[in-house]
Amino acid sequence: TGAVTFDPGFMNTAPTTSAITFIDGEAGILRHRGYPIEQLAEHSSYLEVAFLLIYGELPTKGQLDQFVHSIEQRTLLDENLKRVFIALPRDAAPMAVLQAGVSALSTFYQDSLDPSDPEQVHISTLRLLAKMPTMAAYAHRVANGQPLMYPDNSLSLVQNFLRLMFAFPVEDFVADPVVVRALEQLFILHADHEQNCSATAVRLVGSAGADLFSSISAGVAALSGPAHGGANTRVMHMLDDLRKSGQDPRVFMEKVKSKDDSTRLMGFGHRVYKNYDPRAKFVKGIADTVLERLGIHDERLELAMKLEEIALRDEYFIERHLYPNIDFYTGIIYKAMGFPTHMFTVLFAIGRLPGWIAQWQEAINDPDTKIMRPRQIYTGEAERAYVPIEERT
Ligand code: CMC
């Protein structure tokens, strides 16, 4: 079997080649299929970026119209699948509810489970892109004991999602176009990030031949962790605690730097970026636009900017190349839009879905793909003889 390399956290292991996303962490560059993230966030729609990631090229107008239409017509859930949401406890974490919903897709849509059938893969892709926002909104509604409204397929996917989230009790809810565009941009900024923990989970489950829905549910599970997608809620809790306690940000930063304390500055640092996260730069601009449009003054934005200012000048952060990551400012925007904190990671999941699908499809179409089965370095006991229970001490 040859020598096994010890590589905890896969810091130096590339289990795949990929033609989807390019990151230069030293230079702070992120490109999808060659296109810089800034250009996509500026000019594209969420589903256009999804098409690009999954099929490799920007769509023509005709291709995009057809893709969008076939997704926007599939936003409804089977009535019995809706009941799954109602059956779950109200205080369940929305990410756990979302994961249950995504897993359940493989029980309700059994006609699109075969990874070796391109037509079935296509249908399951459309279904996921269409139904994930509906399920995300339902995860929010069950937590509030609110009715699960039907999607309105005359609306765009993002408008529909906002309506499903917020249209009750506000019956005549119409999403603000600035908010719609900002949310769309945030989804685009989250759309893929090469071999992150959740994409790796999706690839790993897919490598065993599991269907797309099951593989994506593993991605949702991985994303829920606080070191990954869960960080965006942690940033908000950190800012809320700081604001409530009135603690001087400088004192808090001393705690972050202290080796006797495990407190981290949430929303800072990244495994790959050792420079400013290009997505974080863009997010800051969106925060300004949305807060201004909605006439919201949020002290947490000032607090976050103060923490960033201190960090960027501090030896501890400079030495370790710690910069704001995408999660640092997103929560402030989501709050301004009306999303409760427990929904932040769910929004990340909607954004990341196209990347997960693209990577899963890339893997199943790659002749080099093998079942992902790493080795280990065994550190347990050498062989020993079984001891009968009455002789054990
Ligand atoms: N605050 C304080 N110190 C930090 C931080 C932070 N946010 N991040 C890293 N460090 C320190 C860490 O203590 C270590 O110091 P030392 O070498 O003295 O022990 C050094 O920097 C390297 O950190 P690491 O944990 O070995 O680096 P990693 O590549 O394993 O971790 C990370 C990356 C993102 C998990 C980590 O930076 C972190 O925990 N950040 C806060 C959580 C966060 O914002 N996560 C979102 C990541 S971006 C979105 C996503 O992908 O989901």
DSSP assignments along 205-223, one per residue: HHHTT--HHHHHHHHHHHH
Atom of ligand 1 nearest to the CA of 269: 37
CB within 8 Å of 81: residues ≥ 6 apart = 101, 104, 105, 108
| Residues 13 and 7 sit within 8 Å (Cβ to Cβ) | yes
With residue 286 as reference, give the H or E element that holds it. Answer: helix 278-293
* Structure tokens that stand for 254 in this block: 């001393």
Indicate which residues carry an active-site annotation. Answer: 270, 327
Q: Which of 23, 198, 254, 264 to mutate to test the pocket of ligand 1 (most atoms within 8 A of CB)?
A: 264
User: Which H or E run includes 299?
Assistant: helix 299-313
Say how far residue 315 (Cα) sits from the centre of its chain.
31
Tell me the C-alpha distance between 235 and 366, whole Å. Answer: 38
Question: Which mutation among 223, 268, 283, 315 tests ligand 1's pocket best, with the greatest number of atoms within 8 A of CB?
Answer: 268
Calculate how far, in angstroms, residue 114's C-alpha sits from the geometric centre of ligand 1: 39
Measuring from atom 41 of ligand 1, which residue has the nearest CA? 266
Distance from residue 38's CA to the centre of ligand 1 (Å): 24
Closest residue CA from atom 3 of ligand 1: 264
- Taking CA atoms only, the protein residue closest to ligand 1 atom 24 is 271
Per-residue pLDDT, 1: 53
> What does the alpha-carbon distance between residue 139 and residue 165 come to, in Å, rounded to a whole number?
9
- In 3-state terms, what secondary structure has residue 30? strand
pLDDT reported for residue 226: 86
Residue 278 contacts residue 30 (beta carbons within 8 Å)? yes
Both tokens of residue 167?
A: 């249209």
CA–CA gap between residue 37 and residue 98 (Å, rounded): 27
Q: Phi and psi (nearest 5°) for 268?
A: -125, 145
Q: Are 291 and 301 in contact (CB under 8 A)?
A: yes
Q: How many other CB atoms sit within 10 Å of the CB of residue 97?
A: 23
* Token reading at 186: 């945030």
Alpha-carbon Rg of the chain, whole angstroms? 22
Query: What distance in angstroms lies between residue 107's CA and the mean position of ligand 1's atoms?
Result: 38
**Residue nearest ligand 1's atom 27 by CA:** 271
Tokens encoding 259: 């080796």
What 3-state DSSP class applies to 309? Answer: helix
Instruction: List the 29-32 sheet strands across, edge first.
Output: 21-24, 29-32, 35-36
Q: Which residues line ligand 1 (CB under 6 A)?
A: 196, 227-229, 231, 256, 264-271, 320, 322, 325-327
Tokens of 217: 């549910």
Distance of alpha carbon 341 from alpha carbon 353, whole angstroms:
20
For residue 105, report the distance from its CA to the centre of ligand 1, in Å. 34
**Backbone phi, psi, residue 35, to 5°:** -90, 125
Distance, in Å, from the CA atom of 199 to the CA atom of 216, rounded to the nearest integer, reads 9
Distance of alpha carbon 218 from alpha carbon 213, whole angstroms = 9
State the closest ligand 1 atom to the C-alpha of 328, by its place in the atom list counted from 1: 44
pLDDT in 10s for each residue of the chain, 393 residues:
578 999 999 999 999 999 999 999 999 999 999 999 999 999 999 999 999 999 999 999 999 999 999 999 999 999 999 999 999 999 999 999 999 999 999 999 999 999 999 999 999 999 999 999 999 999 999 999 899 999 999 999 999 999 999 997 777 889 999 999 999 999 999 999 999 999 999 999 999 999 999 999 999 999 999 888 888 899 999 999 999 999 999 999 999 999 888 899 999 999 889 988 999 989 999 999 999 999 999 999 999 999 999 999 999 999 999 999 999 999 999 999 999 999 999 999 999 999 999 999 999 999 999 999 999 999 999 999 999 999 999
Q: Distance, CA 355 to ligand 1 centroid (Å)?
A: 23
Distance (Å) from CA 265 to ligand 1 centroid? 8
Two tokens, residue 390: 């009455």
Element (H, E) at 21: strand 21-24
Q: Looking at residue 124, what is its pLDDT?
A: 98
CA distances from 108 to 77, 101, 120, 130 (A): 9, 10, 14, 15
Do you find a cis peptide bond into 177, omega within 30 degrees of 0? no
For ligand 1, atom 36, name the residue with the nearest CA: 269
